[in-house]
Amino acid sequence: MNRLRIKLIVSALAAAVATAAVAAPSSEGSAARDSAQNTVLISRAVDGGTPDGPSTHAVISNDRRWARAIAYQSDASNLVAGDTNGTTDVFVVRRDGVFGNDGTQWFPGPTVLVSRGLGGTPANGASWGPALDGSFRARPKCVAFLSAASNLVGGDTNGKVDAFVARLNGTGIRRVSLPGRRQASADTTAVAVSGNCSRIAFVTGGTVYVKAGKRVKRLGPGADPSFSTGQRQDLVYGGPSGVYLSKNGTSRPRLVAPGGSNPAYNDIRRRVVTYEKSSNGHTQVYFRDLGHPEHAASERGGGLGNGDSRNPVIGNSGYYIAFESDADNLGVNALRRPGDSNSTTDAYLYTDVRKLTLVQSVFEKAVPLAGGGYNPSMSFYANYILFDSPAPLGSASGPHQVFMRYLGPL
């Protein structure tokens, strides 16, 4: 068999695999997935136990079912040795063991402190708000975050909160929030990183900027930037009239969801944006295929949630949306049964295949934890859903830790 024919066969197989990978998830596989579901602690102390401070706002890389990295912020001092600065830091934990793109159980490896000062010294200010890269075609390699510290890089003399990016092992920290390639005169309030780490979006003084190489592009007034999950580098953010989309993160933004805010966007197979919008006296989570009418994700049987829903994230070709909600009338299981009686915020997963919500801040399926679930994040195919909740798992109150709900292989 000649080399050209081999190449053609390999290309055909790769195309078939890619097509299968973006196919709509089957609602018939849920029973098989249920048997493998569990909830485990991700923010672990050095000895494997509960950390001595709260850990929150976890994010997981979008590299399909590999999901190779998780980042989060924590006030704990015993996640790694030598954390002596007594304030919030950003940490990364890499996936351990042997795994493939098949959605098997996720095991945490060693935890790495990312927000370190020059020469490995403790940061002299708090760091928070991590964002990870990783996409349908690229493995994760960087983490972005906000920091009030002035000793992460040389020449940081503006006394403001800045955005930084580092490798996953905490080395190579760079400051990226430099509007006009100068130190910012206002605090930076948000940061996002594209799937291949080629672009960093940040919000300084209420204006959205994107750093691409050495160029810093000003997009306009806005908040809450988020790069697409999938393979492109498109950016969405909340602006004066709703949600705007900038192709490749550097093109002129266009309005794609009037009245929306705090968006997330998918660009594989379907181009779907999800966002927050006020309706029925509460903040609701909506979504729409670009150019088409919007639909509510925070609803059950046509009735909108009776409490605020927020912080949407999107994956699997737009078929899955995770969000947190104060509502107690959303469906908690595949039968659309209500049953959220813990009177606090919970993490939910909406599936656009079956048009229903499933509560994910649980230990026992469909039974919300007493302490609820906050700040959800999920892998591209929703095999792994993160949230923070009081620890030990099931506590009604107390310092939060990061937990992972494993939904089984797909």
**pLDDT of 279-337, one tens digit each?**
989 999 999 999 999 999 999 999 999 999 999 999 999 999 999 999 999 999 999 99
Read off the pLDDT of each residue in 79-83 and give the average, rounded to a whole number.
97
CA distances from 394 to 191, 259, 357 (A): 32, 37, 21
CA distance 162 to 158: 9
What does the pLDDT read at residue 35?
54
Tokens of 58: 């976890």
pTM for the full predicted model: 0.91
Task: Kindly state the greatest CA–CA separation across the chain.
Answer: 67
The tens digit of pLDDT for each residue in 47-74 reads: 999 999 999 999 999 999 999 999 999 9
Alpha-carbon gap, residue 143 to 168, rounded angstroms: 6
pLDDT in tens, 160-209: 999 999 999 999 999 999 998 899 999 999 999 999 999 999 999 999 99
Tell me, what's the pLDDT at 100? 95
Is-contact 104 82, C-beta < 8 A? no
What's the pLDDT tens digit per position in 102-131? 999 999 999 999 999 999 999 999 999 999
Name the more confident of 354 and 6. Answer: 354
**pLDDT at 5 (0 to 100):** 38
- How many residues does this entry show for the chain? 410
State yes or no: pLDDT of 211 exceeds 90: yes
Per DSSP, what are the bridge partners of residue 274? 264, 287
**Vertex 380: Cα angle to 49 and 62 (nearest 5):** 75
Quick one: pLDDT at residue 181?
Answer: 87
pLDDT for the residue numbered 6:
36
HEC assignment per residue over the chain? CCHHHHHHHHHHHHHHHHHHHCCCCCHHHHHHHHCCCEEEECCCCCCCCCCCCCEEEEEECCCCCCCCEEEEEECCCCCCCCCCCCCCEEEEEEEECCCCCCCCCCEEEEEEECCECHHHCECCCCEEEEEECCCCCCCCCEEEEEECCCCCCCCCCCCCCEEEEEECCCCCCEECCCHHHCCCCCCEEEEEECCCCCEEEEEECCEEEEEECCEEEEEEECEEEEECECCCCCEEEEECCEEEEEHHHCCCCEEEEECCEEEEEECCCCCEEEEEEEECCEEEEEEEECCCCCEECCEECCEECCCCEEEEEEEHHHCEEEEEECCCCCECCCCCCECCCCCCCEEEEEECCCCEEEECCECCCCCECCCCCEEEEECCCCCEEEEEEECCCCCCCCCEEEEEEECCCC
Confidence of residue 10 (pLDDT cuts 50, 70, 90): very low
